[in-house]
Amino acid sequence: MKKKILVLCTGNSCRSQIAHGFLKTFAKVEAEVFSAGIETHGVNPKAVKTMMEEGIDISNHTSNNIDEYKNIDFDFVITVCDNAKENCPYFPSAAKVLHYNFSDPAKAKGTNREVDEEFRKVREEIKRYCKQFVDQNL
């Protein structure tokens, strides 16, 4: 039976979308992956661009609110920022809740090149985390 994984962030625009893409890629058929936010900010175009550099297309992802998934019995809930962890609603399931606070590349300042580099840096951190999660849990 497929494991159900929810990746939760503040706005479901960058970090959770990147993690969603990697988890879906690494888990293949072993998991159903969802992502959501405490709020919805739309999928960040720079997150789409940085994932395309990895050959992963997240352009069809949507920015979803956590309330949309309250009736799903998740096996894992992964919060990818402190705000989401602190405001994560209670899930009436036996979901194992994991947390890692990734910096928000959408808040990066500087030239386009510097912002792109921050997205790549965070993408690589999330990639390592997701690969390790799949290797240890699926």
Set 5, 7, 8, 9: catalytic member: 9
DSSP string, 52-109: HTTT---TT----BGGGGTTS--SEEEE-SHHHHHHPPP-SS-PEEEE-----GGG--
Annotated active-site residue 88? The verdict is yes
Annotated active-site residue 14? The verdict is no
Set 88, 95, 97, 108: catalytic member: 88
Set 81, 106, 122, 130: catalytic member: 81
In sequence order, the 6+-apart residues with CB closer than 8 A to the CB of 123 are 18, 50, 51, 54, 105
**Is the Cβ–Cβ distance between 16 and 25 less than 8 Å?**
no
Annotated active-site residue 81? The verdict is yes
**Is the Cβ–Cβ distance between 119 and 53 less than 8 Å?**
no
Please give the positions annotated as active site: 9, 81, 88
